[in-house]
Chain A
């Protein structure tokens, strides 16, 4: 199973860009990379996903390296409300259904 590796924690100053890295060196060609975040005691919130190309939405940008072995989630202007645990997830197809493999994530703290 493809696994992801993320730093345990990161700090970011409010208003600055937060760049959260993720390694997924064993990813297969048809496996998507998903990003979620979880604020304490709430359900994970979907942020963005991608396969090969860089992606951008109203919340964030996702940069995937050409070899697809790593990616970076970018929050362009971090606010205090972005403080959360961020999960980089590879979605696998197992027995005809899609499974997420969750790691322990990166705890991002946005500092005032």
Chain B
């Protein structure tokens, strides 16, 4: 069963702690993305990766870090430097470099910082 998985669905952390969100895909997609969504808002791009061992900052990368050591995995770390980390985090993947590059999204992780 192909798709994108994110875990956990809900995550609670104390202020000042780093936390890592998991994203795995078995679609053999080259590109992966992380978005943040705040209540009543659209999605904003945090980081993206077109290929293993390479990634670029999106529009709101400050306070976040990523790695792409494997094609199927793109974990996101929310660091203590992120001022407002409580949000809904969405991971997506797509074929890279193709003319029609549809992104497919995972179910999301809701992070609450107490």
Instruction: Provide the main secondary structure of the chain A interface.
Output: strand
> Is there contact, CB below 8 Å, between B101 and A91?
yes
CB distance from A43 to the nearest CB of B (A): 4
Chain B neighbourhood of A104, CB < 8 A:
40-42
- Name which residue of chain B comes closest to A104, CB basis: B42
How long is the Cα–Cα vector from A104 to B110 in the complex, in angstroms?
19
A87, B42: Cβ atoms closer than 8 Å:
yes
Would you call A100 and B50 a contact (CB within 8 A)?
Answer: no
Whether B43 contacts A102 by the Cβ 8 Å rule is: yes
Chain B residues close to A by CB (< 8 Å) = 4, 6, 31, 35, 40-45, 48, 50, 56, 58, 88, 90, 92, 94, 96, 100-108, 110
Q: Which residues of A contact B (CB under 8 A)?
A: 32, 34, 36, 41-46, 49, 87, 91, 95-100, 102-105
